[in-house]
Amino acid sequence: MAPSLSLNPSWPHYAGILVTILSLILGAGRYLLLDWQDPLHCDALLQRGSWLDTAFKNWQPDGCMMHQYKPADAATCLASRDVLFIGDSVTRNLFFAFAHLLDQRRPANTRGAPRPALLVLDTVVLLPVEEVVPDKLNRERAASMRLADIDAMNSDLYHRIIPAGIYALPPNARGPAPIALPLVFNRLLDNEGTEDGLHFGAEMVRTQAQILLNMRCNDVLDKTFPIGTVLGPCYCLFLQLLFIAALVAWGPYKLWGAARGGHLSLPLVLRAEDIPPIVISCSKQFEPWSFAFLNLLALAVGLVTVKRGDKDMGFLNRDQTDEWKGWMQLAILIYHYTGASKVSGIYNPVRVLVAAYLFMTGYGHATFYIKKADFGFMRIAQVLVRINVFTCILAYIMNTNYIVYYFSPLVSFWFLIIYATMWTGSRYNDRAPLLAAKLVASAAIVTVVMKAGWPMERLFELLSMLCNIHWSAKEWSFRVTLDLWIVYAGMFAALAYIKIRDARLTEHPYWTHAHRAAVSVGGMLLVWFFIFELGQESKFTYNAWHPYIAWAPVLGFIALRNASSVLRSSTSRAFAFIGRCSLETFVIQYHYWLAADTKGILRVVGWRPANFILTSAAFIYLSWVVADATGVLTAWICGGAKGKGGLPAPGGRQQQQQQQAQGQEAIPLVQQNGTGGEEAKGGEEGERPRRALDRLAESTAQPASQRGFRVWEGDDGWKPGLKVKLGVWLGAMWVANLLWEYV
């Protein structure tokens, strides 16, 4: 009998390692073979590029991105110094475009302006002779302006300014060029952009002005996060290098002692991909067909991988919430990758997807506290560490700002609000009217505080003074108030579901009619929402409505998704897979897959489709493994073996079946202990199937004897307790924050 061939069950892991290493090799190989003469692509800015659109608004230099300068940026760079333009009518057009970028109120002419008494220049730019369109020139100009003569003059300029053999020298041995020659000015001209064959349209001339500002100012601007410019030299602070060194040492150490702990060194891959010679970035360009194709492709993969369970898994069961998080995260990632944020009709539904995550946060945590009433410190630590540990590590390694990864602090903020709300007067949580009144009071207090503005400003000023943390109170208030009440909608939904179940209303004769009515209303809410949001003038107009209406499409989707037992028992494995590492995909996209701090796209190969496939595969793999490593680190900090006291690594249905001894409720956007597959199906044969709410509210609360301030723990030597670990971690971050700018 011939032996059967089968794939190694770990083939996705090996494939992920392969594509990640391949992306690093391609980036390093491109640098060594092609880019070593121009590692920062400064020459490419002046010599090579292409248009990404037909409206001549999105110019793409070869291997880098242009910063779109605003008056404030340009003023910082130029420092009130004069910029002198000398030339003909073509140069005059460039002057007007340049002046308009600096100040839109500047006059349309310079009559009466005083002539300079002294000319002192530190940067000289010789403009190439502009190419013309002979067919559109008038007879007089056509007789004197020949393309052959223009090419000859530009070639002579090039060889006079750039000495022969200069590129044979290492980049650091050449020194700054005394004169810049932006030959790319002619490359970006298009025959369709001129009427007289000589003077080109405003968009092309404006791009030329932006190139001049990028050439002069990119190295002057502060290289702090977020960076959306042509990449400059890569600088690392001493403390940043110290964090990286610690992580380098941690990875091999954990690999020696544990099977998967070495994954904690994977942020170094993100740091490697963030180094300019290795990574190059390109601009986004929204194309409706590409956006639609990627979403349809994701939908097809999700539908193909749908698997139906043996029994009804219940309302908002674990697999369903993982699936929900997964397809929403894919939609958000595609939205970011394709640059669809400027399209109001797309932005508005994506805002609802973010609100849906927060709805699940309110629903999951409220369910837990109503059912278990466990307000111990262990659970607080588990949730906050799991959500924030990777984000905090990344902020130090990448020298970024924690609040820029806004979803981690946003979910943490709302978890603390939920905790405070449920803890206050917790003895009355079993009384629905009192609990509802408490939720309303909490919503009112949070609304007053966030609308006032000054409490957040005072808090952030205090953080700046005591911890050297510089966050924008205005930006934070915008993030919170945009989804101000959706968390409370989730908490009310949890309360309603619990009371419906406890009162056994599902067994009432009229429940079927009520269920059908709810499904119908849910469908109508979704239809109404799409009609409403498409009718808004802009996304800014929609933002004013969003806090008041976000609940409608969220509840509408929930009603349709749970319309029947078939739907409740069916789950897309592909979407659930992404859902279990959705937090990591959100954070990692800032440094891998996207580039220039989400303003561009990471590029390792030139052909965009191939680049998308390669970087997407590596991106998903890195997200999954980092989620695994974060679970390991969370279990180590919070104590207890995986599957007991900690929140373990992501896993599929098979892994969840192995962890069925202990369970937890789903923390939205965060992977943790899941209820086992067998447990979800009803437990031992002959037992009554467990309700979805019971599965959702499972806890891993520590026994009373194991809580508190524990320094000595276990029988195998000294181990610090949870509070000691957290204290050391927070203390180290506090010291690092105080010394970060000086060391």
Asked if residues 673 and 293 have their Cβ atoms less than 8 Å apart, the reply is: no
For the chain, percent of residues with pLDDT exceeding 70: 74
pLDDT value of position 46 = 83
316 Rama class: left (phi>0) / alpha (psi -120 to 50) / beta: left
Give the per-residue pLDDT at 488.
Answer: 96
Dist. CA 320–CA 314, nearest whole Å: 9
Instruction: Write out pLDDT tens, residues 332-358.
Output: 999 999 989 888 899 999 999 999 999
Give one DSSP letter per residue of 662-701, joined into a string.
Answer: S-----TT-------HHHHTTSSTTSPPPPHHHHHT---P
Nearest CA-CA partner of 237 in 356, 389, 448, 398: 398
Cα–Cα distance, 309 to 324 (Å, whole number): 17
Q: Give per-residue pLDDT as tens, 572-631.
A: 999 999 999 999 999 888 888 887 767 888 888 777 888 888 889 888 988 888 888 888
Task: Give the separation between CA 44 and CA 60, rounded to whole angstroms.
Answer: 10
Which amino acid would we find at residue 476? W
Cα gap 583→126, rounded to integer Å: 50
Q: How far apart are the C-alpha atoms of 332 and 354, rounded to whole Å?
A: 9
DSSP assignment of 645-661, as one string? TS------HHHHHHTTT
pLDDT at 432 (0 to 100): 92
Cβ distance 56 to 222 under 8 Å? Answer: no
Task: Output the pLDDT for position 645.
Answer: 32
For 399, the 3-state DSSP assignment is: coil
Instruction: Tell me which residue has tokens 């971690």.
Output: 729
Phi, psi of 234 (to 5 degrees): -95, 115
pLDDT at 451 over 70: yes
Which secondary-structure segment (H or E) carries 242? helix 238-257
Q: Name the residue with tokens 């970024």.
A: 400
> What is the average pLDDT value for the chain, to the nearest integer?
78
What angle (nearest 5°) sits at the alpha carbon of residue 502, between those of residues 568 and 693? 40
**Structure tokens of 735?**
């010291």
* Token output for 403: 């609040």
Q: Who has greater pLDDT, 80 or 330?
A: 330
Distance CA 215, CA 211 (A): 6
Checking if the pLDDT of 442 tops 90, the result is yes
- For residue 603, list its beta bridge partners: 280
Contact criterion met (CB below 8 Å) for 461 and 448: no
pLDDT at position 215 is: 83
Q: What is the mean pLDDT of residues 229-248?
A: 52
**Residues forming a β-bridge with 194:** 200
What tens digit of pLDDT does each residue of 161-210 get?
Answer: 776 555 544 555 455 556 788 888 998 998 888 888 888 988 899 999 99
pLDDT at residue 537 tops 70: yes
Nearest to 666 by CA among 702, 695, 633: 695
Model confidence pLDDT, tens digit, residues 663-690 = 344 444 444 433 333 333 333 333 444 4
> Is residue 568 within 8 Å of residue 320, measured between CB atoms?
yes
DSSP assignment string, 179-222: EE--THHHHT--GGGBSSSSSBPHHHHHHHHHHHHHHHHTTTS-
Residue 261: predicted pLDDT: 42
Whole-model pTM?
0.80
Nearest to 600 by CA among 279, 366, 312, 384: 279
Beta strands in 30-171 (DSSP E): 49-51, 59-61, 124-125
pLDDT of 492 over the 90 cut: yes
Contact predicate 22/619, CB 8 Å: no
SS3 call for 50? strand
Between CA 600 and CA 264 the distance in angstroms is: 27
Is the N-terminal amide bond of 609 cis, ω within 30° of 0?
no
pLDDT band at 283 (very low <50, low <70, confident <90, very high): confident
Distance CA 601, CA 595 (A): 5
Question: Of the given ranges (80-84, 341-345, 470-474, 557-561), which has the lowest mean pLDDT?
Answer: 80-84
Terminal CA-CA length for the chain? 69
pLDDT at 258 (0 to 100): 44
Tell me what pLDDT residue 288 has: 92
Give phi and psi for 51, each to the nearest 5. Answer: -85, 135
Residue-wise burial string across 306-331, b where 16 or more C-beta atoms lie within 10 A, e elsewhere: eeebeebbbbbbbbbbbbbbbbbbbb
Q: Which residues are known catalytic residues?
A: 89, 196, 199
DSSP alpha helices (H): ranges in 424-510? Answer: 432-452, 454-467, 473-482, 486-502
CA distances from residue 177 to 108, 159, 162, 567 in whole angstroms, order as listed: 33, 13, 8, 66
Please tell me the distance from the alpha carbon of residue 684 to that of residue 294, in angstroms, as a whole number. 43
The greatest distance separating any two alpha carbons of the chain, rounded to the nearest whole angstrom, comes to 98
Per-residue pLDDT of 404-423, as tens digits, reads 888 999 999 999 999 999 99
Name the percent of the chain lying above pLDDT 90: 30
pLDDT tens digits, one per residue of 358-397: 999 999 999 999 999 899 999 999 999 999 988 888 888 7
User: Which tokens hold the place of 60?
Assistant: 């793409």
Note the Cα 233 to chain centre separation in Å. Answer: 24
Calpha distance 82→91 (Å, rounded): 16
195: CB partners within 8 A, 6+ apart: 136
CA proximity to 339, closest of 705, 53, 143, 71: 53
